[in-house]
Amino acid sequence: MNDLLKISEEVQDALDHHLPIVALESTIISHGMPYPKNLETALNCEKIIREKGAVPATIAIIKGKICVGLNSEELAYLAKNAQDVVKTSRRDIASVCAKGLTGATTVSSTMFIASLAGIKIFATGGIGGVHRNAEVSMDISADLEELAQTNVAVICAGAKAILDLAKTLEYLETKGVPVIGYQTDTLPAFYTRTSPYKVDYQMDSPKEIAKMLKIKWDLGLNGGALITNPIPEVFSLDEKLMNKAIDQALEEAKEQHIGGKAITPYLLSRIKDLTKGESLASNIQLVYHNCELASLIAKAYNDLNEI
């Protein structure tokens, strides 16, 4: 195991000294955003987390090694060479390692690896979920099963309307995953602050969220939690405009028979083009916002465990 898992010096030091740590995924870098904005975003996420008093741990598989904490060359490689980087969810981890490949981790594999390293808090943009038309395609993201079993809290801006939000919430309920709204009682839908759906509980402080997480895991209620953080008002996008872009992207994906693991990256990229880049700018800002909240939760969670 030791020669498979490579923890950076900074992250190892944080683990040794019980400092707050925030995990970050890398699929968002390689397959979620275009270069060079992806690299800029990845570096800024780490900067924001440090400014908020936590330690960032970006996760990826580099040449077959599971890396927790990346250096700037590794981040740049992931950002520039998407075509050579495998989108790695839970099922891909062992094969990518065995073949010595480089893989960008999704929410599912990032959660798994964070947990392996002893990290409990993870910030990202949006999670995968139950796709629209899943009753026919059976396309349900591995992110949901990971949330069902791995003890990591995922701070996100809700799920995108490319998914079936109602079915995604039902799935999370079945699997016993708490869905918390940070200072809201409504499920945010990524680009917009609201959706027609309610979260299970509204929580208004990082401390309250940390307390819930500690109680959950102390009780042995295994699995993750979804902490949804609405995009800041100034960066939120018009719902009608977004839905139009999403519907068109879905239609095009269908015409081109795009499916499997390629569908989410395809939709993200088409939506960006159809909104002339506006969705990308919002996407970046909501990720920063989630990094801030995740840092505060990581600190509050640490404080509880120091007592």
Query: What do you get for the CA distance between the two ends of the chain, in Å?
Result: 32
| Closest residue by Cα to residue 294 from 109, 11, 127, 56 | 56
Active site residue 175: no
Residue 107 interface partner, choices Mn ion, ligand PSU, none, CB cut-off 5-8 Å depending on type? ligand PSU
Contact 179, 228 (CB under 8 A): yes
Cβ-closest position to Mn ion: 139
* 142 contact choice in ligand PSU, Mn ion, none (CB below 5 to 8 Å, kind-dependent): ligand PSU
Tokens of residue 79, six digits: 């950002």
The Cβ of residue 9 has, within 10 Å, a number of other Cβ atoms equal to 9
Please state the closest distance from residue 283 (CB atom) to ligand PSU, in A: 7
Closer CB to Mn ion, residue 259 or residue 277?
A: 259
Choose the stretch contacting Mn ion; rule: CB under 5 A; options: 21-29, 105-113, 134-142, 270-278: 134-142
* Whole-angstrom distance, CA of residue 67 vs CA of residue 251: 37
Could you confirm whether 25 is annotated as catalytic? Answer: yes
Question: Phi, psi at residue 165, to the nearest 5°?
Answer: -65, -40
Phi, psi of 198 (to 5 degrees): -95, 155
Q: How far is the CB of 8 from ligand PSU (least distance, A)?
A: 21
Residue with tokens 């520039």: 80
Q: Which of residues 143-172 bind ligand PSU (CB under 6 A)?
A: 143, 160
Catalytic residue among 52, 87, 160, 299: 160
**What's the chain's Rg over C-alpha atoms?**
18
Residue 143 interacting with Mn ion (CB under 5 A) = no
Q: Which of residues 86-105 bind ligand PSU (CB under 6 A)?
A: 89
Query: Which residues of the chain form contacts with Mn ion (CB under 5 A)?
Result: 139
Catalytic residue annotation: 25, 160
Binding site for ligand PSU (CB under 6 A): 25, 27-28, 32, 89, 106-107, 125-128, 141-143, 160, 261, 264, 268
